[in-house]
Amino acid sequence: MAYVETKPTAGRHFLQIPGPTNVPDRVLRAMDNPTMDHRGPEFGRFGKALLEKARTVFRTASHVVIYPASGTGAWEAALANTLSPGDRVLMCETGWFATLWREMAERLTLRPEFLAGDWRRGADPAQIETRLREDKERAIKAVCVVHNETSTGATSRIDEVRKAIDAAGHPALLLVDTISSLGSIDYRHDEWGVDVTVAGSQKGLMLPPGLSFNAVSAKALKASEDAKLPRSFWDWRAMLAANETGYFPYTPATNLLYGLDAAVDMLAEAGLDNVFARHDRHAEATRRAVRAWGLEIQCEEPRHYSSSLTAVRVPEGHSADALRATILERHNMSLGNGLGPLKDRVFRIGHLGDFGDLQLVGTLGGVEMGLRAAGVPHKPGGVQAAMEYLAGNA
């Protein structure tokens, strides 16, 4: 059957949303292996080795818990395992996904404080430090930050957030969402003193949706002993007990785990620092194209530019969604839509995962042709600007 309904078009579909990303053939072939008995000895050996290997991507020596779920599940697991009803949590308004995490906290009977932002930059460490210094009674139990805000293309500096918490002398846990940054942007769970890292499979890890992760510090494990929020499916205790021997307390997503094994190998063979440099390079080439077109990048703070995606504002009076529809119809390419207040105001170019120079040039070519076809005011030459940068920075 046809899983994606499109008109007959030569060539492959360009999936350039900021996730799910294109799944490399090596990962697809790994997932194509027969499903094994998840209670048998072979799986135990496989699971134990994979759980150990997964730590390298988070750059942690601590536990990594893997759930058969989307990143939203890992959000809930991070909160449910460390906090109690009525606990205060400090969260930062960096965009749509930070807003959704806050709404989840409210539904879980937590009391989130939302530090206001303008959706054009990452979290403000100074603002976090000031609020924590004001918290003389230490009522705030956790600080929650989205590392890379997928709706805006702004990346928060987690190392600086950690320094802000330490400068305030505050004991709050640090919970970080890396769903659209892990495996694409430099991230260091242990070095940056993160207590719970949240991640998903469908972006920098180059897998289909269906796996989510919590990397857990010793401090977070200690907090989980006293946490009172209800948890069953998300409970770290049951997971970690089973993981000791490579198993899971319930049926795991076996074939996705095969894919994860291949994806982690690919990242290791390339070298994480090289993978991050590749993403940085493609992001800069994309931004040069946007500027050459005379369009505006949603993220206003250069230090917060995302290497996973670029969100682009369309001129007033023009529709980002109409532009995306034109590009899909004419060039068989999908771009990310605007979310929340940015609906119909921005389009998002994903340049993460298994992605090379030729894919980027093709992507930017599709955008430039689409801008012309949709009548969006712009200057020509964006693709040329990107190519000149790529050629000069190999």
360 and 372 share one domain: yes
- Residue 8 in any domain: the answer is no
The pLDDT of residue 7 is 64
pLDDT digits (tens, 9 = 90+) for 83-106: 999 999 999 999 999 999 999 999
- Residue 95 in any domain: the answer is yes
CA dist 236 and 43 (Å) reads 20
In Å, how far from its chain's centre is CA 59? 16
Choosing from 268, 286, 319, the residue where a domain stops is 268
71 and 204 share one domain: yes
Buried b (16+ CB within 10 A) or exposed e, 303-332: ebbbbbbbbbbbeeebebeebbebbbeebb
- Residue 1 in any domain: the answer is no
Instruction: Give the sign of the dihedral formed by CA 121, CA 122, CA 126, CA 128.
Output: positive
Q: Which H or E run includes 64?
A: strand 63-67
**pTM (2 d.p.):** 0.97
Q: Which H or E run includes 310?
A: strand 309-313
Burial class of residue 57, CB neighbours in 10 A (0-12, 13-18, 19+): buried
Mean pLDDT across the stretch 281-307? 98
CATH of the domain at 339: 3.90.1150.10
176 and 102 share one domain: yes
211 and 313 share one domain: no
The pLDDT of residue 123 is 98
Q: Is the pLDDT reported for residue 6 higher than 80? A: no
Asked if 20 and 256 touch (Cβ cutoff 8 Å), the reply is no
Listed residue (215, 217, 213, 220) closest to 199, CA to CA: 213
Mean pLDDT across the stretch 312-326? 98
- Residue 58 in any domain: the answer is yes
Asked if 114 and 136 touch (Cβ cutoff 8 Å), the reply is no
254 and 297 share one domain: no
The pLDDT of residue 2 is 54
- Residue 4 in any domain: the answer is no
The pLDDT of residue 38 is 98
Mean pLDDT across the stretch 206-225? 98
pLDDT digits (tens, 9 = 90+) for 219-237: 999 999 999 999 999 999 9
- pLDDT bucket at 9, cuts 50 / 70 / 90: confident
Mean pLDDT across the stretch 336-357? 98
- pLDDT bucket at 4, cuts 50 / 70 / 90: low
CA dist 210 and 202 (Å) reads 8
Q: What is the mean pLDDT of the chain?
A: 97
Domain limits for position 217: 25-268
Cis preceding linkage at 302, omega within 30: no
Choosing from 249, 268, 287, the residue where a domain stops is 268
Mean pLDDT across the stretch 175-194? 98
324 and 253 share one domain: no
- pLDDT bucket at 5, cuts 50 / 70 / 90: low
- Residue 264 in any domain: the answer is yes
| Domains of the chain: total | 2
212 and 104 share one domain: yes
Mean pLDDT across the stretch 162-173? 98
